[in-house]
Amino acid sequence: MSTIVFAAHKDAKFAKENGTVLDPSIPPISLHWKLPRDMADPSLAFLSRARRRSSSGMAAATSSIKRKREEAGKALSTILKGRSSHREGEVSPLRSASDVPPGVGSSGGSAPRASSSVSQASAVSIQESVQDLMSIVRTPAFSAADKYRVLDARDKLLKRQRVREQDLSKAKAMLGVCPDMCPEKERYGRQEQRNLSLFEMSSNSSAYEVDHMRAVKAYARSSADQEEPLPFELRPGKVLRMTMDHLIMNVAGECNEANVSDWYLFMWDRTRSIRKDITQQQLSDLTAISLVEQCARFHIHCSAALCEEDVSVFDPKINDENLTKCLKTLEYMYDDLAKDSKGHAPHEAEFRAYDALLNLNTGDTLRKIQTFRPETFRPEVRSSAEIEFAVSIFLALNNRHYVKFFRLAASAPYLSSCLLLRYHTQARTTALEVISRSYAIGNKTSELPLSEIQSWLGFSSSEEARQFVRNFGLEATGDGRTVLIGRALFTAPEEKILERNSDFLVRRKLQGRSISECYSEFYC
């Protein structure tokens, strides 16, 4: 017996079909062929790449991934071997019904059964499709485009053999096994599409190339025709924790005037992707809660730090929408944690208070706090300093106690002050109207020291106070130390006063701390 190795599959096929007769005078010889082991089982290549990518701190995740890869390899082999045994008019049990052409293997309705020739043609088409995908999977890949093509073919094969649970009562949430901050296929795909952020690109190469250690999974909008993700497309809790730590430690502090737009879009998109992975896996443990809390802190910080940016860079409405979603998700998580008796989140009071501070102009905010269900809204949370502060500032704003409002705002922590910034113009407008009516009798005018207005309304300087009152027709006197007050002088501005950040009420509370500390669990 002799062994002959061919470099290409087509050469081996030609030899098998035409090489059995060496001499007409002797009987035909028997030819047997096989594929090398590393080509017949493509999952081995995927497993080796997964091992190289895994870090030393991910030993447990690597073991799980190895098991999944081996199962995937067996599934791929089953697909290849099982296609030749299809009986006429039948569909492989490894395929979903959506992959079957209309009329093939269908017995419902009044439509006639497909003919034998149609069934055979459909089966051949399916067979060729699988063989094409397997051929792509076995192709050596060197460029990013080739690697993406191979990984995409692998995913299509795995999705073909996936069986969905039809009984919702038995269905379980999928758990991710991706060991990286960004799945491998997405990294190569976004490099080819030139859809990388400057925070993900390699600094050691002049070419447009992804940095595999810095790439973070991008957010993909859900749609009706979007397929369920595969396990290695979802990141488990430990990897999500690693991803958030990377964003906080390596990206959060990189914001400057030159890249503020790119920075905000990157941080917003990647934190939204983290939240989506949490939702798709239905995670509700303390790790998932802390991740959503940090997403909320990011949006709270941006609501003040970027409030003066153009709407094309930072849209406060969209930011508030995402913040509201974070707080609503946390509310459900806190309730579920309490119902399941799995403990309590250590920062629950903080974020319950943020929800109240975000909705001070909503009439049922106080009622919502006072009527929380005792089984979910714990007494220690209700009586916490954060909730008491939210109630006090709600009453001050709604009762027009402007002096008390700004005194409370001055004593608030940094993130609470970021949320209260949206009410500064509202409270100051109400205060000036009240002052104009209270300090001037009838049509008379009176002078009020500018320093008093600065102190009462929490301005950072007398110049800031002077510019603000000018919007309402109130001008400073000749020496600039007093403001002329009168009912007839007060006029509401025609245009909306743009919100500006405050050094006295907001920025100074950072006290030299980094932005990363604002998002962490240790400083709020």
* Per-position pLDDT tens, the chain of length 524: 667 776 666 677 777 777 777 667 677 777 766 555 444 444 444 434 444 444 444 444 445 545 555 555 555 555 444 444 443 333 333 334 334 334 333 334 444 444 444 455 555 555 558 889 999 999 999 999 999 999 999 999 998 888 777 777 777 888 999 999 999 999 999 999 999 999 999 888 778 999 999 999 999 988 877 788 999 999 999 999 999 999 999 999 999 989 999 999 999 999 999 999 999 999 999 999 999 999 999 999 999 999 999 999 999 999 999 999 999 999 999 988 888 777 789 999 999 999 999 999 987 888 887 776 666 678 888 889 999 999 999 999 999 999 999 999 999 999 999 999 999 999 999 999 999 888 877 778 888 999 999 999 999 999 999 999 999 989 888 778 899 988 888 888 888 898 899 999 999 998 888 888 888 865 44
Please give the helix or strand (H or E) that residue 357 lies within, else none: helix 348-358
CATH assignment of 421-519, among 1.10.10, 1.25.40, 1.10.1200, 2.60.120:
1.10.10
Beta bridge partners of residue 210, listed in sequence order: 201
* Single-letter amino acid code for the residue at 199: F
* Residue reference for tokens 């093509």: 149
The set of residues, in sequence order, having a beta carbon less than 8 Å from that of 57 and lying 6+ positions away, is none
By 3-state DSSP, what share of the chain in percent is helix, strand and coil, each rounded to 5? Answer: 55, 0, 40
Residue type at position 250: N
Task: Give residue 71's pLDDT.
Answer: 58
Other CB atoms closer than 10 Å to residue 148's CB: what's the count? Answer: 21
pLDDT at residue 129, rounded to an integer: 86
Residue 180 to residue 219: CA distance in whole angstroms:
15
Virtual CA dihedral for 472, 474, 479, 480, nearest 10 degrees? Answer: -30
Report whether 336 contacts 353 (CB < 8 A). no
**Domain assignments of the chain as residue spans, ordered by start:** 1-33, 35-99+116-155, 421-519
Please name the amino acid found at residue 166. Answer: Q
Could you give phi then psi for residue 485, rounded to 5 degrees? -110, 140
Res 119: pLDDT: 52
